[in-house]
Amino acid sequence: MSRISNICPDTLVLVVSLISILISQDLDTDDINVLGNVFTQIGASLLTKAAQQQSLQSKEELKTQISDMEKQIANLKRQLC
């Protein structure tokens, strides 16, 4: 997915718009609405997953930082005694 995140924003908008036009050309209004809602739900689900992954990663990074600080405190205590 790193390729997608490196695409120029304007190019990405243009490509997605062209795809939506091509997909919807032979569909009636009801089908376009259903398809739009399906894609919206897919997007919402992807955002939920990404948010949870980021949250879990942040918690792991925080645990690592706390562990490192505890080690530093233990080393400082040994140096003082």
CA 80, distance to chain mean position in Å, is 46
Question: What pLDDT was estimated at residue 40?
Answer: 98
Burial 6-24 (b: 16+ CB within 10 A, else e): eeeeeeeeeeeeeeeeeee
Question: What pLDDT was estimated at residue 13?
Answer: 95
Question: What pLDDT was estimated at residue 3?
Answer: 81
Question: What pLDDT was estimated at residue 39?
Answer: 97
pLDDT tens track for 42-70: 999 999 999 999 999 999 999 999 999 99
Mean pLDDT computed over every residue of the chain: 95
